[in-house]
Amino acid sequence: MATSRRKALLVKRGKQAATGIYRSGATSTFVTTKDASPAPRTAVFRTKALVVETSTLLRVLSEERSIAALGSAMASNPEPVSPELARSLQAEENWWRKIERELPSLTSAEAAELLGAKPTNRNFASSQRAAGKLLGYTRRHAARFPKFQFDLAKGSVLPVIPQLIAVARDLETTDEDLVLWLAAPSSMFAEQDRPADHLNDPDRLLAAARTEFGAIW
């Protein structure tokens, strides 16, 4: 059931985020040189000023690398992948990268030290996460813990965090999906801001979480 729920969430997120991921501000054509000897084709990028900006080149190169990586991953998968699912997975990856840029996180050692444990105690943060007392996610085979969940002055986790984790898990929602929801602007708030901006309003935040994760089906 959890797998089906995960797929439903991904498809939902993909439909919401399907706004054309790959967009570049320049078009490209290919021309050949007039030299008699064979020569490689040269890419000519047309902009309004007929000047190729560095940012445009970097974006095109980034898109080419992304296409190559995605193509290789899909080719190695023996099962067919629907366009909706592929789009939703790419949208989720884009969200993770945005979260990593905008919302700081701590390593397991840093979280342990902040909460009063020895930073060398590598199992402390993971055990707290397993017990539903600490919110974390895994990226590139490493555990990360969003900094917004901590009261830095007191060296503790905000009281609403374990409650949020309990709500999400009761509704078969992973910790990773809870982080994604907390970090993304939500129409459930009049301010149209992120749920993470309402950590000091626990009743409102918990009600929004129940509505969000209970309505995925």
pLDDT tens figures, 88-141: 778 878 878 888 888 999 999 999 999 999 988 989 999 999 999 999 999 888
Residue 209 resides in a domain: yes
Range of the domain at 210: 105-214
Residue 91 resides in a domain: no
How many structural domains are present in the chain? 1
Residue 58 resides in a domain: no
Answer yes or no: is pLDDT of 147 > 50: yes
Q: Treating both helix axes as pointing N-terminal to C-terminal, what angle do 83-102 and 175-183 enclose, rounded to 10 degrees?
A: 70
Residue 134 resides in a domain: yes
Residue 31's region, left for phi above 0, alpha for psi from -120 to 50, else beta, is beta
18-62: per-residue pLDDT in tens?
Answer: 544 333 333 333 333 444 455 555 554 454 444 556 656 556 555
Residue 118 resides in a domain: yes
Residue 28 resides in a domain: no
Residue 135 resides in a domain: yes
Residue 62 resides in a domain: no
